[in-house]
Amino acid sequence: MAEAKKIGYGDLTGRVGVEEIRARGVDVDLLIKKLIANAAAEFSSTYYYYTILRMHLAGHEDYKEICEDARLEDRAHWELIVPRIYELGGELPNDLPAFHNGAGCAPAKLPSPPTAVNILTLLLESERCAIRSWSEICDLTFGKDPRTYDMAARILNEEIEHEAWFIELLAQERDHKTIPSGHFRRGEPGEAPYSKNRRFYNP
Cα separation, 39 vs 92, whole angstroms: 9
* In contact, 131 and 152? CB cutoff 8 Å: no
Q: Is there a cis peptide before residue 189, judged by omega within 30 degrees of 0?
A: no
Instruction: Look at residue 1 and tell me whether its pLDDT is greater than 60.
Output: no
* In contact, 36 and 93? CB cutoff 8 Å: yes
Cα separation, 114 vs 135, whole angstroms: 30
**Residues 65-78 pLDDT 10s:** 899 888 888 888 99
Instruction: Look at residue 59 and tell me whether its pLDDT is greater than 80.
Output: yes
**Residues 71-121 pLDDT 10s:** 888 888 999 999 999 999 999 999 999 999 999 998 888 999 999 999 999
Distances (CA, A) of 41 to 87, 91, 101, 170: 20, 16, 9, 22
Q: What is the pTM for the complete model shown?
A: 0.88
Q: Does domain 23-183 have CATH number 1.20.1260.10?
A: yes
Q: What is the pLDDT of residue 12?
A: 87
